[in-house]
Structure 1
Amino acid sequence: MDLLSIADQNQQLAFNLLQEAQLIEAWQKIGATIHIVGSLKSGLMMKNLDIDLHIYTEKLQVAESFSVMQELAERLCLTDIQYKNLIDTEEECIEWHASYKDKEMNVWKFDMIHIRKGSKYDGVVERVTDAVASKLTPELRRIILQIKFDVPRGTIIPGIEIYQAVFTGKVKSYAELEQWRSSHPLTNSLDWMPG
């Protein structure tokens, strides 16, 4: 199967899983607005099966956020949940990272970032995701998917770092990405936007 087919299949599986798991509906119960971001939205999902959601409410209430996660944990086969309280930082968010095993035994990661509406980073990742998707040519998509495919298992490289290397550094392979990263360390992924 070619890389484009794998990415398209992963995207379809992710949308099906989102619907089955009713993640968006669970957060809507507390009045949240939910945006799909990252590789699911841009069609660049390869080996890392991540569903990235940015969840916005007027106020960040720990108990409310926990209530959604409690419902999801009781309803879904979540194998691991991580929680980070960043309410009092400039990010103004609560991070949830949960692992889920589907019927085919694929492990999915749900990255659910609960953000205060109107905070500094409100909409930032959405704008970057939209910019990446709008500037993707078939050739750039193929290069990014190949690099993601070639990243060795166990090596974690944020997608945004790969996109920056391809768009800004004209990187065309995993070997070139390794060279790029050694001289261009990622300091803040929220500062970059494709030109």
Structure 2
Amino acid sequence: MTRDLLAISAANQHKARAVIEDCGLYAAWESVGATVNLVGSLRTGLLLHRRDIDVHIYSQPFDIAQSFAAVAKMAEHPRLARVTYANLLQADDACLEWHVWFTDTHGESWRIDMIHLHPGSRYAGYFETVAERIERALTLETRLAILRLKDEIPPEAGVIGIEIYRAVIQGGVRDASGFSAWREAHPRAEIVDWMPDEPGSAEKREEVS
């Protein structure tokens, strides 16, 4: 089972990267001078069953018209089936939020979340740091535990990835029953902004104390 989950994860990550290439995501945004950073489970290598791709986008100067132009270029692809947009520049996120649904060559639908962040957003660069910290914190054991939980927890449970990552990496959770108990003790509101400590930070805290 362990080997199967690793293989499924690797295969779906390969498919996801093929989708990124096929839909012209990088080319479209780079054509308007923007930079695209991969974040989320594809960046950390923890993508399993869900066909979701997350990217954060930056441009200088920030231009709404250029954001629309990039997505319009992507929409020229005949297999890009749907686009949604939200202007959240006045919210804490300070971003333009794009979601597109793209059908790959196997007929599977992928959702691509493209968050075009204003340079002044509190989240500018934040989730890149989260992904980097998670990557550094992962071991083979914790990677497998995360994939097992993703495989066992049904979608209707409404669990988000960061809950699983914190439960496994920080909380030592290794199975679904342990996760249920851990989740009861850790409301989502207090963990959505969690990230692993920087390597060595625990030792530094001990020295200070």
**What's the TM-score once normalised by structure 2's chain length?**
0.85
SS of corresponding position for 1:108: strand
Equivalent residue in structure 2 for 1:94, among 71, 96, 103: 96
Paired amino acid for 1:84 = A
Residues 163, 192 of structure 2: 8 Å contact kept: no
The equivalent of 1:42 in structure 2 is 44
The equivalent of 2:203 in structure 1 is none
Cα distance, 1:137–1:40 mapped onto 2, change above 3 Å: same
1:164 pairs with 2:153: no
CA–CA separation in structure 1 for the residues paired with 2:45 and 2:69: 31
The equivalent of 2:23 in structure 1 is 21
The 5 Å alignment of 1:72-91 reads 72-91=74-93
1:152 pairs with 2:154: yes
SS of corresponding position for 2:21: helix
Structure 2: 5+ residue runs without aligned partners? Answer: 198-209
SS of corresponding position for 1:31: coil
Residues 94, 120 of structure 2: 8 Å contact kept: no
Measured after TM superposition, the shift of residue 143 of structure 1 is 0.3
SS of corresponding position for 2:87: strand
Deviates more, 1:109-118 or 1:126-135: 109-118
Deviates more, 1:113-122 or 1:182-191: 182-191
The 5 Å alignment of 1:100-179 reads 100-179=102-181
Structure label with greater radius of gyration: 2
Residues 124, 190 of structure 1: 8 Å contact kept: no
The equivalent of 1:52 in structure 2 is 54
In the TM superposition, structure 1's runs of 4+ consecutive aligned residues that sit over 3 Å from their partners are 153-156
Deviates more, 1:95-104 or 1:107-116: 95-104
Residues 60, 87 of structure 1: 8 Å contact kept: no
CA–CA separation in structure 2 for the residues paired with 1:130 and 1:167: 14
CA–CA separation in structure 2 for the residues paired with 1:116 and 1:153: 31
Paired amino acid for 2:93 = E
Structure 1: 5+ residue runs without aligned partners? Answer: none
CA–CA separation in structure 1 for the residues paired with 2:153 and 2:110: 18
Deviates more, 1:69-78 or 1:139-148: 69-78
CA–CA separation in structure 2 for the residues paired with 1:9 and 1:75: 24
SS of corresponding position for 2:19: helix
Measured after TM superposition, the shift of residue 90 of structure 1 is 2.2
**Percent sequence identity over aligned pairs:** 38
SS of corresponding position for 1:164: helix
Measured after TM superposition, the shift of residue 27 of structure 1 is 0.6
CA–CA separation in structure 1 for the residues paired with 2:155 and 2:94: 32
